[in-house]
Structure 1
Amino acid sequence: MEHDLTFQQIKERVELPELLTHYGYTLKKGESLGRGKWHVFEGDDTLVVFKGRGNDWMYFNSQDDHDKGSVIDWMKNRVNSGRIAGIEPQPGRNVWQTVNELFRAYLKLPEQERPKLELPPLSETAPGERFQSIYTQNCRPLEDTTYLESRGIHKATLQQPQFAGRILNQLHTVQKEGMLAKTFVNTAFPAYHEGRVVGLELKGEGYKGQAPDSEFFRSLWLSNLPESRASHMVVAESALDALSYAQLHPGEKALYASTAGILTQNKVFEMKRVLGEECICGVKAAFDNDTQGHHYDTRLLAGMASEQNPMKVVREHKHLLTVEITATNPAGVQALTNHLKHYNDQAARQYRQVSGESAQAVSQTLRDELISSAKLGPSTYQFHVPMSREALSAFNQGAIQSLSFQHRIEIVKSQGKDWNQDLKQKQMEQVVKRELRPPVKTAEPTPNGERRRGPRLA
């Protein structure tokens, strides 16, 4: 029985462009955008093929953000999809066994049956570099501020040095058959990873999206550093919320960041890298004031926990979040437990006032609203937190007060759902206050030359 090929053997012996050609893909000619950086192959889908770190062949699917990786990933994804003739699951074999046999069969083909391509050499492409040309080709400096002003962001805010060059206009032209081409101007927020642009968040009136091949799972939108040293980082779910926070809190010496709507562990790693590199010791978590925003607070706290009390989210159920804390010194965990007991007692009292249940009765409905905990070992504790704003907020505030973190962390919440909603509410209140201001009396002349007080509009 033949031994399976190792992944390294496959990468060394299989040229991805030739494998694609064998399965019916054709090299797109005249591809000038990525000349010297990548090749484009068209077949069942459109693939961008390039050389990654270590000179390995890599690819990504321009129509499917999840379809990317090495030559092995390409074969595995085709086995799972069954879209290409000759690549399908085999009875009694799992996906990796099938992948291995397909590569073995390909490598056993006679030399003359394996396609040979004469391709221009490619330079090694660092993560995000393949995006850079697309980014620079389609973007312009921020001139059209219509969208941002419609969301309450003033030009004076956008002209602050912290935001110079960090917000752009992206031009998108649509050509429909028989009609003149129409160009749309979107507001674009570049996403950074290790100082490189690896994505683009796009906003427009009635439109939001991202540029193709954006890598938002590990990147952040970042402002420039303030002119004097930043005392903290303000991180929000969107760049629009970060701008709104900055306008509502003028003068803060902060570095502003956005997670583009989702907080992943890789984004927390990038956040910590930036904090360390720029010697910033504090974080203000300014996520939305809804259940998801409080959930992100918990994820951030877990990622920022110190070595004294490592913390991780071990389970995320629709209705319950399980957080595990390891602490050799139980004092912090005991303080957190006491804080949560106070929350549970208060929640139980409020529930009984509404439901009319006696103090002795504990219904399942009430249990589902309370935070529970368990000790798994000498220094390991688990907390089961209901997925509600109140329970998550209680856990997060208790953790900040009781545990140690790598950076000083503060949770700041908007009054409404998010900071842009707060900004628009404040502006509306200012308009109403101005319109309802009582008239100011002015002096009017009288027949004898004296002036008489009369109403005058402000």
Structure 2
Amino acid sequence: MTKFEELKQRFPNTIPVPELRANVSIIELAVQYGYEHLTHKGRSRPVLQHPGHGDTIIIKNPQDASQQVYQRADDFSDSGTIIDFIRNRLPTVFSVFNHPGQHEFRNVTNVLYDYLRVDPVQVARNRKIIPTDTDSSKQTFAKELFDIRSLEKDNYLLKRHIDPRIIQSPEFAGKAVTQVSYLNPETGRTEGFLTAKANPDRKYINFSNVAFPYYNGLTAEVMGFEIRNENLKQHAPGSDRYTSVFISNIPPKPQRFIVMESVLDAMAHKQLQSVNGNDAFDSVYFSTGGQLTQEQTNTISRYVSALDKSDDWKIILAFDNDAKGHRFDLMFVQQLVAPNFPTSPTVATANRVGLLLPEGAAHGPIREALIGRAESFNNTIRSQIENADGDEISRKELSSQLINIATLNNQQVALHVPETMTAMGAISEALLELTGFGKRIEVVKSCSKDYCEELKTHMAETKRYAYTVTSESGESAYNTNSAITAQRTLIMLQHQHTGDKQNKTFQLMLSQPDGWYKQQAYLEIKNGKVVKAVEQPEFKKQVLQEKRERSEKVQGKDQSINEPVQQKSTPKIKPQ
């Protein structure tokens, strides 16, 4: 007997929703419709992925279907019960049940009824990945279970171009430690620290990793470790990945709270600031460990609220400069602006984020302005489509970037935002500006994919070029090996920006062997007028030296041209 037949005997008319939830597990339904269990991601909270739709979900309370909830990886707006799971996937995974002319909830229950009719043998197969004992399958985190030591001098961070001065800086001193792993060569498996300690006679092969502690803001206890090495990128078993974050050392009065995806990015960001001469201890760095959950956002907000801050403090969202990083920006912004403009998740087609805009007269001005920003963004895309000149591939690609503005039930408006950097970035920026939160929250991106890549590029450029001209944002505007060319570049920038009422700052930096920069010249323009222009004596001396060398080189060429050409004697041929 199928589960549907069993329930129909108890409920001849309509099966109540609580009974549907209690008898259909999200895990079972997902497996039935093509999701695969990613066993290496853990068992206490199973992770499943649909290869066709690129949809990855995390299951909480896997053993109790009635209490089971899910969350889409990297998108806490797509979460909830099995009802939410189906509703949010009617356009994709469950499209066969998606009948637009039919009430949405009817479509959802049709999916559940269909699964209840599945053969019990198949149901049993789908159920196999559910952990049988949550308590034993989930290891409780305890710092004492790991061999933690002071950071070794020769460590993995150095291979990622992180300078020892940054590791020992006020922000990161003591925040990176060594974690030793023990490989038993007889079994080929890594054994725990306590096991290795209890068996000193075994000839273990030791591996040293770099570990970063994670905290939840509710206690001073370490809640987990992020562990890194050349071939290792994971959290220690039992770590609280969903609530906890890495936090750097806290200055007396923080001015900036910088949120990033990894501790390595945070260190690289600090180093890129330091090489340009900015060594101020005024920032707190957070890392979310390559993900972002609603709980982590709450933890960061809790830290920011509790700390004594400078008057002009800001939260800087510096996630990676890719689609995932921009999605994190939008997720974070949605949650922070919710007191003024609460948006809700809604059904959207594949590769789009659905935002349900709040109703009511109080939210009307922001709602209409946001819709206007979306339409303005679409008009820009449409103009690009018109200029594609018959290039169908480009036109199709551009069309997929349009933000869909949908009206639900003839009143509530939803935005279906493409998961592209430009579209998500535009909505994040609009939400911050229209709600007034832009004064406290700023989205900043690396010039490369992330700050580790930017640091790597910087290190390569310091070996290739002697001089670099940087703007007020710290970005490199020009690179050269000539002091004369560098000086002329500054003069050109001065002419370019004077008279246009702009505020610009440029620095001319000399590369040092260790990757640090030494300032050689400084140009500051306010309201189109030069207020400061300074050249260091050593730079002036280098310019004069180059001019002298060039002059001598030219004179040498001129002299060689004016000298009479020595005629080679031609041997005479003796008569025979």
Q: Which has the larger radius of gyration?
A: 2
Question: Which residue pairs with 2:43 in the alignment?
Answer: 64
Report the residue type matching 2:450 in the other structure.
Answer: D
Kindly tell me: are residues 374 and 63 of structure 1, through their superposed partners in 2, closer, same or farther at Cα, counting changes over 3 Å?
closer
Gaps of 5+ in 1: 1-60, 81-88, 99-124, 444-451
Give 1:286 deviation, angstroms.
0.3
2:232 match: 207
**How do residues 238-277 of structure 1 correspond to structure 2 at under 5 angstroms?**
238-249=262-273, 250=278, 251=280, 253-277=282-306
CA distance in structure 2 between the partners assigned to 1:169 and 1:316 by the alignment = 45
Say which structure is richer in helix. 2
> Given that residues 224 and 238 in structure 2 are in contact (C-alpha distance below 8 angstroms), is that contact kept between their aligned partners in structure 1?
yes
2:142 aligned to which of 111, 128, 132: 132
Aligned to 1:417: 449
Match of 1:431 among 452, 456, 463: 463
| 355, 358, 373: which one aligns with 1:339 | 373
Q: Given residue 277 of structure 1, which amino acid in structure 2 is its aligned partner?
A: A
* Structure 1 residue 404 displacement after superposition: 4.4
Q: Does the CA-based 8 Å contact 2:384-2:398 persist in structure 1? A: no
Alignment-derived partner of residue 95 in structure 2:
none
Counterpart residue identity of residue 183, structure 2: V
SS at match of 1:66: coil
Deviation at 1:317, TM superposition (A): 5.7
- Equivalent residues of 1:234, 1:257 under 8 A apart: yes
- Residue deviations 1:241-288, cap 9 Å, x none? 111112222326111000000001111111111111114553110000
Deviations 1:68-121 (A, max 9, x none): xxxx968659xx9xxxxxxxx9969x99xx9xxxxxxxxxxxxxxxxxxxxxxx
The equivalent residue for 2:162 is 153
The 10-residue stretch of structure 1 (292-301 or 395-404) with the greater mean CA deviation from structure 2: 395-404
Letter in 2 for 1:141: S
Distance 1:244 1:130, change over 3 A: same
Query: Does residue 298 of the first structure (1) align with residue 333 of the second (2)?
Result: no
The change in CA–CA distance for 1:186 and 1:367 in structure 2 (over 3 A counts) is same
Separation in 1 of the partners of 2:365 and 2:410? 13
Partner SS state of residue 447, structure 2: coil
Q: Give 1:368 deviation, angstroms.
A: 2.4
- The match for 1:218 among 232, 243, 254 is 243
Give the letter for the 2:151 counterpart.
L
| Structure 2: gaps of 5 or more residues | 1-39, 47-59, 69-117, 128-134, 188-201, 468-479, 484-541, 546-550, 554-576
Count of aligned positions = 340
1:114-129 alignment runs, 5 A limit: none
Within a 5 Å distance, the mapping from 1:275-424 to structure 2 comes to: 275-280=304-309, 282-315=314-347, 318-326=350-358, 328-356=362-390, 366-376=398-408, 380-405=412-437, 408-424=440-456
Task: Indicate if the aligned counterparts of 1:285 and 1:297 stay in contact, CA closer than 8 A.
Answer: yes
Q: Say if 1:410 and 1:145 are closer, same or farther in 2 by CA, change over 3 A.
A: farther
Q: Check the 8 A contact 1:191/1:198 in 2, yes or no.
A: yes
Return closer, same or farther for 1:205/1:316 CA change in 2, 3 Å cut-off.
farther
Residues 33-44 of structure 1 mapped to structure 2, 5 A cutoff: none
Say if 2:179 is the partner of 1:174: no
RMSD of aligned C-alpha atoms? 4.1
Q: CA 1:240 to 1:76, structure 2 compared with 1: closer, same or farther past 3 Å?
A: same
Name 1:162's counterpart in structure 2: 171
Amino acid at match of 2:225: L
1:346-398 deviation per Cα after TM superposition (whole angstroms, max 9, x unaligned): 1111122224389xxx9776542211223447985321101111111111111
SS in structure 1 at match of 2:161: coil
Q: In 2 relative to 1, CA 316–183 (structure 1 residues): closer, same or farther, beyond 3 Å?
A: farther
* Change in CA separation of 1:149 and 1:368 when aligned onto 2, cut-off 3 Å: same
Q: What is the rounded CA distance, in whole Å, between the counterparts of 2:346 and 2:164 in structure 1?
A: 44
| TM, length-normalised to structure 2 | 0.52
Q: Could you tell me whether the CA contact under 8 Å between 1:287 and 1:294 is conserved in 2?
A: yes
The AA in structure 2 aligned to 1:371 is I
| Higher mean displacement: 194-203 or 256-265 | 194-203
CA distance 1:400–1:355, change in 2 (3 Å): farther
1:206: how far off?
2.4
For 1:76 and 1:134, how far apart are their aligned partners in 2?
32
Distance 1:288 1:219 in 2: 19
Partner deviation per Cα, 1:416-447 (whole Å, 9 max, x = no partner): 1001111111121111013984697999xxxx
Counterpart AA for 1:342:
S
Q: Note if contact 2:168-2:174 (Cα within 8 Å) is conserved in structure 1.
A: no
Partners in 1 of 2:62 and 2:416 — Cα distance? Answer: 39
Q: Which amino acid aligns with 2:462?
A: Q
> 1:304·1:407 contact (CA, 8 Å) conserved in 2?
no
SS at match of 1:256: strand
Separation of aligned partners in 2, 1:393 and 1:406: 13
Shift of 1:184: 0.8
Paired position in structure 1 for 2:35: none
The amino acid across from 2:373 in the alignment is: H
Q: Sequence identity of aligned pairs in percent? A: 26
Equivalent position to 1:142, from 135, 147, 151: 151
